[in-house]
Every structure is written in structure tokens, then in C-alpha cells.
Amino acid sequence: MASTADYKDRQFLAVIGDEDSVTGLLLAGIGHVTDPPDSQKNFLVVDNKTETSAIEAAFESFTEQRKDIGIVLINQHIADKIRHRIDTYTAAFPTVLEIPSKEHPYDPEKDSVLRRVRRLFGE
């Protein structure tokens, strides 16, 4: 059970996605860079050259290290690269949501929520 203190300071959304997904979401005004000298961003733009370890590090930073993130949005095709981390992540805060990207439409088969549903109904 999550206490109020757990989510009181979690006020930012974080994004791990391709350039168009991040640009689109930042247009809504969710982008935030903390004050120097840290200057931590709450987003990661992933392209073909981005290594899986960098994605994993960003996910770890948003979910474990930073205490000001309330929701982590991640492109589904990027979540696939770190699927083991996504599926084993069970903490209530921050909550993780997979979103579609331009080139990879939403696939219900890969959605961790719907996989949980299937498990509950014994499939």
C-alpha cells in the first residue's frame, strides 16, 4: 500500500521515446530540466544508435533514483528492448505506461497490463 508521502513529491511525467514521441509530449509542457549543476532531464530521445544499456539506465533513473517522477511514459517498441525490466517492475510509484510510436502501432499482445489480465484468467 502506497503512503501519501510516497507520491506527494512525484509531480513530473518522464518520457522515453523516439524523437517524434518526445517532441509531441514535450509540446504539452511536460518537459523539465532540473536546476544546475545536475540539470537532469525528464526525457530520453531514443534513436537507432541508442544502446539498450542507456535506455535501461534512464528507466532505472526515472523509476528508482529520482523521487520527483510520478508517471513514466515509454514507447512500446522501446519497452520491448527492456521487457524484462518492465515486466518485473511492480512498484506503485512511479507508474509506467506504454504508448504507441509513429512507426510501431500499439500491440495489445505486448501490453503488460493485458498480459496481467491473461495471467489472472489462467491463460
Partner 1 sequence: MEERADIDHLLERYLHLLHEYTSLRAELNKLQAGLYQNLARANFAAERGMRYGQDQYDDRMQASRRVVALPSSSSPACATFEVVKVEEPGTADAAEASVSKNDEAVVSEVQSTRREEDGNKKEEEEVKDSLAEETKPRSSEPKAKKTKDPLCWFGLITPMPLRQAQAQSVQAVEDIVPKLVSINAEMAQVEIEVRRARKKRAKAEAAAKKSEDVTSKEEITV
Binding site for partner 1 (CB under 8 A): 1-2, 4, 7-8, 10-13, 19-33, 39, 42, 45, 70-71, 73, 92-93, 95, 97, 99-102, 105-106, 108, 111, 113, 116-117, 120
Helix (H, G, I), strand (E, B) or coil at 95: strand
The amino acid present at 112, given as its one-letter code, is S
83 or 106: CB nearest partner 1: 106
Residues 108/117, Cβ–Cβ less than 8 Å: no
Nearest distance from residue 59's CB to partner 1, in Å? 16
Nearest distance from residue 30's CB to partner 1, in Å? 5
Nearest distance from residue 40's CB to partner 1, in Å? 12
Instruction: Give the burial string for 97-116 (b: 16+ CB within 10 Å, else e).
Output: ebbebeeeeeeeebebeeee
